[in-house]
Structures are given as C-alpha cells and as structure tokens.
C-alpha cells in the first residue's frame, strides 16, 4: 500500500471540508419548494370545514378549490351533487377527524350531512398532501 504525501492528503481533506456550492444542493432536491410542502391534518381539517361550511361549497369553491377529476365527474352527473353525495343542499354539515397517510400522499375525513327529516349521511373527502393551493381531490359516497 502506498501512502499519499502529507501535502496532497491535507489538500484533499480541506476540499472535502468546504461547503457544497448551491448548485450541488439544488441538484440534490430538484422538486420546487411548493412541491415539497405537505399539508398537515390540521391544514386539511381547516380546509374541509371552510370548504363545506354549513350547507355545502360556494360556487367559487366549486370552481377554484376542486380537482379537475371531480369537475369532470360532476359534468356527467346532473342529478347528484358529487361534492355532497346528494341531490340537494343539507340542513348542516360536520367534518370528522382527518387521517393523513404520508406514504400515500393523501389525507381524508368523513363528512356527515344532516337532513331536515332528521337523517344523516356520510361520505369521505380526500385531499392530496402536496396540492398547491389546497384542493378537494376526490369524494367517495358511502352508499
């Protein structure tokens, strides 16, 4: 085994100790800053509570805070409000606790609608953790 002269070894060690140029740091994480953000359960809870309000989403929320997937589903379903899983507006709405699955990149909550006849219904609302701005990504009706 041949040993490196002291001067060369010291030079290599000093180079290794230097901070990496910013171009190297950028190459290590090519995703834009907004794509690295992940919504928390609290973020999703606030969003869904505001989005659904007391009687359902506003026209603005329907056009600006909903995924294209849900807009497309609504376009083919004239008799059912896809976002509420019902044909009309409920008496009130409650959003349950939010579950977040980091590995699946999604968070969800059960939404309960209350009707004049005293009945309730539920559905699940889904939000992608990296959506910017935060949007409703999907809704699955209970039955």
pLDDT tens per residue, range 44-59: 999 999 999 999 999 9
Which pLDDT does position 87 carry in this prediction?
93
Q: Give residues with Cβ within 8 angstroms of 101, minimum separation 6.
A: 107
- In the chain the domains, ranked by start, together with CATH numbers, are 34-141 (3.10.450)
The string of pLDDT tens digits covering residues 76-129 is: 998 999 999 999 999 999 999 999 999 999 999 999 999 998 999 999 999 999
Q: Does position 23 have pLDDT exceeding 80, yes or no?
A: no
pLDDT surpasses 60 at 12:
no
Does 4 or 118 have the greater pLDDT score?
118
pLDDT at 129: 96
Tokens of 20: 């990496």
Q: How confident is the model at residue 17 (pLDDT cuts 50, 70, 90)?
A: very low
**Residues whose CB falls within 8 Å of the CB of residue 129, separated by 6 or more in sequence, listed in order:** 38, 39, 100, 102, 105, 106, 107
pLDDT confidence of 4, banded at 50, 70, 90?
Answer: very low
- pLDDT at residue 97 in the model: 98
Residue appearing with tokens 């606790």: 97
Q: Quick one: pLDDT band at residue 36, thresholds 50, 70, 90?
A: low
């Amino acid at each position: 085994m041949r040993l490196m002269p002291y001067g060369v070894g010291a030079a290599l060690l000093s180079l290794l100790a230097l901070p990496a140029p910013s171009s190297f740091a950028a190459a290590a994480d090519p995703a834009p800053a907004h794509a690295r953000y992940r919504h928390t359960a609290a973020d999703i809870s606030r969003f869904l509570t505001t989005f659904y309000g007391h009687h359902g989403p506003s026209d603005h929320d329907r056009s600006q805070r909903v995924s294209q997937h849900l807009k497309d589903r609504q376009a083919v379903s004239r008799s059912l409000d896809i976002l509420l899983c019902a044909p009309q507006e409920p008496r009130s709405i409650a959003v349950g606790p939010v579950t977040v699955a980091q590995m699946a990149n999604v968070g969800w909550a059960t939404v309960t609608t209350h009707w004049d006849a005293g009945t309730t219904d539920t559905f699940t609302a889904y939000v992608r953790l990296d959506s910017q701005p935060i949007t409703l990504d999907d809704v699955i009706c209970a039955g």
